[in-house]
């Protein structure tokens, strides 16, 4: 459902991504991990057309997102890492606008999720805390009902209860055939949700595989136990 082939991107001559390639299959949750600055956000933005890669290609549900980002975007529920929202709009207005891209979106699902997350629909975005903004971004991605979800640190800033609920929803959505790619620093959360992880360092894909193998390797290299 997501195919990434040789994506490279530099900012002012400094490489942020170097020939990154991997796939995420139907029904799979793949965690994207790596230190700060390793290129996770740049990769996710490249997939949804927010950033234009210098070279390489990516397909979302069969659509080449480097050729036709708008068409590819219809198939993706995207939760960005940086919650930049129009302060004067209400939560409901933002939800309605965001899911407008998606032919199969379910507004009532988005409203139910926000209720579950404890975010008032009438509140103006400018009055939302960081955690509430994250909840809104996650709710809009899930309500898109898109076959592919691309989530940049979706659990960051969420309280533990909401985090558990969100994790359950992601696992259930994958069980129903969605392909989910999400970046995270939370190894325990990744262990609860992900089937595989892709590890980036300095813009290079070091490995894609089972989280267990990754933890074992890391503990051998670093001589620490996770
Ligand atoms: P991560 O999400 O893993 O923290 P990023 O994709 O945000 O990594 O960043 C990868 C590299 O690209 C970093 O060196 C970062 O400083 C650089 N970078 C990211 N966005 C920009 C930008 N808009 N302009 C210049 N450099 C950027």
The closest alpha carbon to 192, from 1, 31, 23, 26, belongs to 31
pLDDT at residue 84, rounded to an integer: 81
pLDDT at residue 146, rounded to an integer: 94
Ligand 1 nearest atom to the CA of residue 43, by list position: 6
For residues 107-131, average pLDDT: 94
- Beta-strand runs (E) in the chain: 2-11, 14-24, 29-33, 55-60, 63-64, 76-79, 148-152, 179-183, 196-201, 204-209
Whether the predicted pLDDT of 222 surpasses 60: no
More confident residue, 128 or 82: 128
Task: Name the residue at shortest CA distance from atom 23 of ligand 1.
Answer: 11
Ligand 1 in reach of 41 Cβ (< 6 A): yes
Question: pLDDT of 9-53, one tens digit each?
Answer: 999 999 999 999 999 999 999 999 999 999 999 999 999 999 999
Whether the predicted pLDDT of 219 surpasses 70: no
The edge-to-edge listing of strands for the beta sheet with 196-201 is 76-79, 148-152, 179-183, 29-33, 196-201, 204-209
Whether the predicted pLDDT of 188 surpasses 80: yes
Taking CA atoms, 54 is separated from 75, 116, 164, in Å, by 23, 41, 38
């Amino acid at each position: 459902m997501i195919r990434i082939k040789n994506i490279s991107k530099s900012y002012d001559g400094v490489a942020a991504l170097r020939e990154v390639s991997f796939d995420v299959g139907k029904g799979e949750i793949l965690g994207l991990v790596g230190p700060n600055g390793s290129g996770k956000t740049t990769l996710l933005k490249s997939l949804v057309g927010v950033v234009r890669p210098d070279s390489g290609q990516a397909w979302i549900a069969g659509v080449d997102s480097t050729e036709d980002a708008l068409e590819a975007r219809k198939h993706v529920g995207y939760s960005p890492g940086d919650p930049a929202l129009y302060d004067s709009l209400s939560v409901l207005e933002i939800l309605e606008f965001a899911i407008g891209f998606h032919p199969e979106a379910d507004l009532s699902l988005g409203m139910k999720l926000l209720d579950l997350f404890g975010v008032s629909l009438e509140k103006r975005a400018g009055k939302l805390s960081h955690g509430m903004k994250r909840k809104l971004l996650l709710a809009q991605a899930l309500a898109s009902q898109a076959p592919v979800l691309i989530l940049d640190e979706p659990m960051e800033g969420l309280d533990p209860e909401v985090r558990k609920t969100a994790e359950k929803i992601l696992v259930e959505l994958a069980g129903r055939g969605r392909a989910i790619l999400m970046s995270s620093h939370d190894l325990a959360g990744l262990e609860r949700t992900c089937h595989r992880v892709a590890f980036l360092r300095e813009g290079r894909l070091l490995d894609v595989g089972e989280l267990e193998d990754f933890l074992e390797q890391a503990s051998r290299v670093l001589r620490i136990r996770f």
